[in-house]
């Protein structure tokens, strides 16, 4: 009997081994974005044509087809659902199938199987990508209901998500609170506390997590009213970075379960900069995403029972490097920019009682955009954008005006302020990475990830049959690309 047992162990040495999976989603990040950020880093040195590679370059294994069930151009909800549930659904759907029926996700199946679970993002935690792993609604804008789903318990009465880091505090506060953006009086934040969840809102509280040996899970840390700041704008004293949140998540989850963990990490604002056609904000958030990948790569190196997979839900902006007729583009232009178009426009709206032309010429151009030789045409395009009627329309026009000026000087082109149908990169490193290769549908990647963890969503799907997927008092927003 002892000999037989020894033989079984020899045949299946990893049958009961711990297994970790980190799924990283660089929202809106296409192959040209990788080239753009690589060239940016390459040109920061003295020899601009010396070879330079990012951490992702060393991990490239294939590509992902991104179409949804009803469109060749997906949105983030359908794209993330494909990864989370292993099935195609229509644009706008959060972890429900084409009939609106909830589908069990890899996170939920992993939790039921004994894994620890986590979500890290720089968007609102209730935004499309993180929501698709822990909520089930027929419309991505039902963020009030999504918040409630995300703190709910599974069939074993455990909080389904052990750790959440991101923004979006306003969706957890009742509408009677001045900082709320909910449409009801449900206090989701207090409900989380009442169910035993540790809650954080301040950078100082986040920093203490690395100094304690006590288990703080389940844990939710929300560090912004809505989305977290772009990397180019971030105040490090008030908000942790994506790489910092991810490192802390890895440390906490690794100590939680002997089975292992599932962690989804999203570089959300890469996409939002693409929507704004803001090349400087785009490239800085890509570089921060690379830092985050490097942190996970180091973790995998020290924990060989871990697989990291990085991909994107779609490409945003139709980015092009080079504008006809010149065969060139100028990365150094982006290095002169110190604020995102979003922050520049917010500043302009706050100062419109002053002479706006003077503010743009004396402050915005030289201090925020690094431009000391602006043209009358560049000044006019910003002034005209500020005259657009309607708050959302004016803000969008302003951001595109600012991003357009920088893009034109850098010789960077954009075909859209939305998504495109391009394939995106697939990257992997670590345990069983040889299985993550080639060109595949986004839903097939979701299936492969479930197979890696040896989990099935079928039992979760059955348990979700009576889940409420429609939010009362709901208004559908036509502007959900990043707000």
Active site residues: 76
Query: Would residue 118 be called left, alpha or beta, if left means φ above 0 and alpha means ψ between -120 and 50 degrees?
Result: beta
**Closest to 437 in 3D by CA, of 313, 315, 307:** 307
**Pairing status of strand 116-124 against strand 261-267:** parallel
| Cβ atoms of 26 and 427 closer than 8 Å | no
CB 448 within 8 A of CB 436: yes
For residues 94 and 374, give the distance between their C-alpha atoms in angstroms, rounded to a whole number: 45
H helices within 86-214, ranges in order?
Answer: 106-112, 128-134, 143-150, 188-194, 203-208
Q: Strand, coil or helix: what is 470?
A: coil
Is the torsion defined by CA of 472, 475, 477, 483 positive or negative? Answer: negative
Distance (Å, rounded) from C-alpha 172 to C-alpha 197?
Answer: 13
Supply φ then ψ for residue 372, to 5 degrees.
-115, 10
The SS3 call for residue 376 is helix
* Measured torsion, CA atoms of residues 19, 24, 30, 32, in degrees rounded to the nearest 10: -90
Sheet holding 219-222, edge to edge: 198-200, 219-222, 163-167, 116-124, 261-267, 20-26, 306-311, 424-430, 60-65, 438-441
Q: Where are the beta strands (DSSP E) in 202-286?
A: 219-222, 261-267
| Preceding omega of 325 cis (within 30 degrees of 0) | yes
- What distance in Å separates the CA atoms of residue 344 and residue 360, rounded to the nearest whole number? 10
Q: CA-CA distance, 296 to 47, in Å (whole number)?
A: 29
Strand partners for 265: 24, 120
């Amino acid at each position: 009997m002892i000999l037989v047992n020894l033989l079984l162990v020899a045949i299946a040495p990893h049958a009961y081994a711990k297994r970790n999976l980190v799924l990283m989603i660089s929202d809106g990040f296409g192959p040209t974005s990788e080239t753009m950020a690589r060239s940016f880093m390459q040109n920061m040195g003295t020899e601009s044509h010396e070879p330079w590679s990012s951490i992702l370059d060393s991990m490239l294994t294939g590509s992902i087809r991104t179409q949804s069930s009803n469109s060749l151009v997906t949105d983030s909800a359908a794209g993330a659902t494909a990864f989370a549930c292993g099935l195609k659904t229509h644009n706008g759907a959060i972890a429900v199938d084409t009939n609106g029926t909830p589908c069990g996700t890899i996170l939920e199946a992993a939790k039921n199987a004994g894994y620890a679970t986590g979500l890290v993002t720089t968007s609102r935690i209730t935004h499309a990508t993180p929501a698709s792993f822990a909520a089930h609604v027929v419309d991505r804008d039902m963020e009030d209901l999504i918040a409630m789903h995300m703190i709910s318990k599974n069939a074993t009465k455990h909080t389904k998500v052990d750790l959440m880091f991101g923004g979006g505090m306003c969706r957890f506060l009742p509408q009677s609170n001045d900082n709320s953006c909910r449409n009801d009086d449900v206090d989701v934040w207090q409900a989380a506390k009442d169910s035993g969840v540790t809650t954080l809102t301040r950078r100082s509280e986040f920093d203490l997590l690395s100094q304690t040996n006590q288990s703080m899970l389940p844990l939710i840390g929300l560090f912004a009213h809505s989305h977290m700041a772009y990397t180019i704008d971030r105040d490090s004293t008030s908000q942790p970075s994506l790489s910092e949140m991810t490192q802390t998540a890895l440390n906490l989850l690794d100590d939680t379960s002997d089975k292992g963990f599932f962690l989804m990490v999203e570089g959300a604002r890469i996409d939002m900069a693409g929507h704004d056609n803001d090349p400087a904000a785009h490239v800085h958030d890509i570089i921060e995403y690379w830092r985050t990948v490097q942190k996970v790569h180091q973790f995998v190196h020290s924990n060989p029972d871990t697989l990291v997979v990085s991909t994107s839900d779609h490409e945003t902006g139709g980015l092009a490097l080079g504008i006809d007729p010149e065969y060139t583009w100028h990365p150094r232009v982006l290095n002169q920019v110190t604020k995102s178009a979003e922050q520049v426009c917010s500043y302009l709206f706050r100062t419109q009682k002053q002479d706006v032309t003077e503010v743009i010429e004396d402050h915005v151009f030289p201090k925020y955009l690094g431009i000391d030789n602006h043209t009358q045409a560049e000044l006019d395009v910003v002034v005209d954008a500020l005259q657009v009627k309607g708050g959302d329309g004016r803000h969008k026009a302003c951001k595109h005006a600012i991003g357009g000026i920088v893009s034109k000087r850098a010789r960077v082109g954009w075909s859209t302020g939305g998504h495109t149908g391009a394939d995106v990169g697939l990257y992997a490193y670590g345990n069983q990475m040889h299985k993550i290769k080639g060109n595949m549908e986004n839903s097939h990647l979701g299936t492969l990830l479930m197979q890696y963890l040896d989990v099935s969503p079928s039992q979760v799907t059955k348990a979700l049959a009576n889940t409420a997927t429609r939010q009362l008092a709901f208004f559908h927003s036509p502007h959900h690309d990043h707000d």
